Amino acid sequence: MLNYRRAYVPPFLFIRRSILKKFGAITLLIIGMLTFNNGQVYATSTNSGDSNKLNIVKTYNAKVSWYKHGTKTANGEKFNPNNLTVAHKNLPFGTLVRFTHPDTQKTVIARVNDRGPYTKGREFDVSLRCAVYLGIKYVGVTKLKVEILKS
């Protein structure tokens, strides 16, 4: 017998039925805010134009690591390892940074919301989600192309 209270979820969405039932259209809207394009992932909002039209302020290579533990970020937000965020010692909060893996050409645009890393030789700490998209989760520390963006 079919249970009609459950929402049908196509297998390609990988959303738990309980989440879809609880949040419905909000969940689908959040999924729609991520745009996948040739291995590039952009954190976009519905009001900002095309993410490719962001102006590049500075480009260089830097050592990048990732982190997933923490309770509160330096700007007061609750830390969420599933957000596209990054920690840097000096960049202003809210600055967008584009990371490109030199071998795979995968790209992520993340927002600065924390301070760190405090390990010598590293310049950025990206969130777990950024690390997964870039393919550096199991590498730990790697050198990436970094572009500071001005929106």
pLDDT tens for each residue of 130-140 = 999 999 999 98
Residue with tokens 């596209």: 84
Q: Is the pLDDT of residue 85 over 70?
A: yes
Cα–Cα distance measured from residue 123 to residue 69, given in angstroms and rounded to the nearest whole number? 18
The pLDDT assigned to 71 comes to 84
The verdict on residue 26 lying in a domain is no
Q: Is residue 44 part of a domain?
A: no
CB 117 within 8 A of CB 136: no
Tokens of 98: 């584009």
Determine the Cα–Cα distance for residues 105 and 99; give it in Å rounded to an integer.
Answer: 9
Helices (H), the chain: 17-23, 25-32, 128-134
Q: Which of 45, 135, 130, 144 is nearest to 87 (CA)?
A: 130
- Least confident among 20-34, 95-109, 118-132: 20-34
Alpha carbon 126 to its chain's center: 8
Closest to 112 in 3D by CA, of 82, 137, 86: 86
Residue from 112, 68, 110 nearest 89 by CA: 112
Q: What CATH number is given to the structural domain containing 83?
A: 2.40.40.10
Q: Give the chain's domain count.
A: 1
Tell me, what's the pLDDT at 53? 62
> What does the pLDDT read at residue 17?
55
Residues linked to residue 67 through DSSP beta bridges, in sequence order: 127
Whether 25 has a pLDDT exceeding 60, the answer reads no
The answer as to whether 33 is a domain residue is no
Structural domain harbouring 139 = 51-150
Higher pLDDT, 53 or 9: 53
Domain assignment present for 74: yes
Residue 38 lies in a domain: no
Please check the confidence at residue 118 and state whether its pLDDT lies above 50: yes
In total, the chain counts a number of residues equal to 151
CA pair distance 40, 65, nearest whole angstrom? 19
Is residue 25 one of the residues assigned to a domain?
no
Q: How far is 131 from 83, CA to CA, in rounded Å?
A: 11
